[in-house]
């Protein structure tokens, strides 16, 4: 039996957003996953926080238990999704990873309910710092049905996982193609990697839409924790530098040895959970 319950909220445009709920009593925390991932990838982080918090982990739209992106997709749609979940749960704390951090940041700007916001390596582009040149190739491969090649293009284009940068494309693509054929979700409410690959198209729309918006957050009222690992690519550190410069109530922590996937199940989520616990419970 899973150690979480499931629920849904309805976003402003009518899209249903499914979520997992871990824990019970205590302040509410919403964990917002990153690109090509789903709620299932935050299971260990959620469990590590569940003894002191009510933890809510949504599948962002287009994934798992949630409805589709919709024809008029923009970051505002995901802001409305997160606002709906915050309203239903009365959670005051938010954690976002990668593109989920961008959504969380944009949501906090218009949602006074968010008192404390933790962001792990948001790909906020500063003067073209976030790599985007790979996106047209990824979309062509996706449109021709070659999801393995599209995934390789995205992984190499972003460079967020060091191991994939070192392996030649000719070696990596057939291995990933085989993995996509045999891998599936372990439970009915889990999304397979093959299902998640196309969602990166929408995440990159968010990155493009939010490029060079750092000055917008100079008036953000929430207290913010900026997080990053020492093994992430330089463009993510630059985004954190810029946010640290403009945010009025920010502190920053760098976690030694962590990659961009540090908060996820395959990373070191217990370390991230300890930092989040300290941030959310500090006086």
Backbone angles phi, psi at 110, to 5 degrees: -115, 15
Same domain, 76 and 146: no
Distance separating alpha carbons of residues 187 and 210, to the nearest angstrom = 34
Cβ 226 vs Cβ 244: under 8 Å: yes
Q: Which is more confidently placed, 234 or 166? A: 234
Instruction: For strands 250-255 and 93-97, give the pairing.
Output: unpaired
Instruction: For strands 28-32 and 16-22, give the pairing.
Output: unpaired
Q: Which domain holds residue 195?
A: 135-201
Number of domains the chain is built from: 2
Same domain, 170 and 189: yes
Burial class (CB in 10 A: 0-12, 13-18, 19+), 271: middle
Nearest of 63, 68, 111 to residue 90 by alpha carbon: 111
Residue 138 pLDDT level (bands cut at 50, 70, 90): very high
Six-digit token string for 59: 């599948």
Cβ 173 vs Cβ 152: under 8 Å: yes
Same domain, 100 and 178: no
Same domain, 65 and 94: yes
Domain boundary among 179, 201, 223: 201
Distance separating alpha carbons of residues 239 and 226, to the nearest angstrom = 10
Domain boundary among 180, 201, 222: 201
Domain boundary among 177, 201, 225: 201
Nearest of 247, 246, 227 to residue 237 by alpha carbon: 227
pLDDT, one tens digit per residue, over 168-203 is 888 888 888 888 877 655 577 899 999 999 999 999
CATH number at residue 225: 3.40.50.1820
* CA of residue 119 relative to chain centroid, distance: 9
Same domain, 61 and 101: yes
pLDDT score for 188: 77
Residue 253: HSE in the Cβ half-sphere, 13 Å Cα cutoff = 18
* CA of residue 57 relative to chain centroid, distance: 11
pLDDT, one tens digit per residue, over 33-83 is 999 999 999 999 999 999 999 999 999 999 999 999 999 999 999 999 999
Cβ 228 vs Cβ 237: under 8 Å: yes
Tokens 């969380």 belong to: 104
Residue 154 pLDDT level (bands cut at 50, 70, 90): very high
Cβ 280 vs Cβ 53: under 8 Å: yes
Same domain, 118 and 234: yes
Mean pLDDT, residues 198-227 = 98
| pLDDT over 70 (residue 115) | yes
Burial 4-14 (b: 16+ CB within 10 A, else e): beebbbebeee
pLDDT score for 112: 97
Distance separating alpha carbons of residues 14 and 33, to the nearest angstrom = 21
| pLDDT over 90 (residue 271) | yes
Mean pLDDT, residues 219-243 = 97
Q: Return the biggest CA–CA distance within the chain.
A: 53
């Amino acid at each position: 039996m899973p150690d979480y319950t499931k629920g849904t909220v309805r976003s402003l445009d009518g899209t249903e957003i499914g979520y997992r709920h871990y824990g019970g009593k205590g302040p509410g925390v919403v964990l917002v996953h990153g690109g090509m991932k789903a709620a299932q990838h935050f299971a260990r982080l959620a469990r590590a926080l569940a003894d002191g918090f009510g933890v809510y982990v949504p599948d962002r739209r287009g994934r798992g238990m949630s409805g589709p992106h919709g024809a008029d997709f923009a970051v505002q749609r995901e802001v409305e999704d997160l606002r709906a979940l915050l309203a239903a749960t009365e959670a005051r704390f938010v954690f976002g990873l990668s593109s989920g951090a961008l959504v969380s940041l944009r949501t906090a700007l218009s949602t006074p309910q968010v008192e404390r916001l933790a962001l792990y390596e948001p790909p906020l582009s500063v003067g073209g710092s976030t790599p985007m040149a790979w996106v047209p190739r990824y979309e062509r491969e996706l449109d021709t049905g070659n999801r393995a090649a599209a995934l390789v293009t995205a992984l190499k284009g972003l460079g967020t996982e060091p191991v994939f940068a070192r392996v030649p494309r000719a070696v990596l693509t057939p291995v990933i193609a085989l993995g996509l054929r045999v891998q599936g979700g372990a439970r009915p409410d889990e999304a397979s990697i093959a299902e998640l690959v196309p969602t990166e198209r929408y995440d990159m729309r968010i990155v493009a839409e939010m490029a060079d918006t750092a000055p917008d957050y100079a008036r953000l009222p929430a207290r913010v924790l900026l997080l990053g690992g020492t093994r992430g690519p330089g463009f993510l550190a630059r985004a954190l530098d810029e946010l640290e410069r403009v945010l009025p109530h920010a502190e920053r922590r760098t976690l030694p040895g962590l990659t961009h996937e540090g908060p996820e199940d395959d990373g070191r989520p217990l370390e991230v959970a300890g930092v989040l616990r300290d941030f959310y419970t500090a006086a």
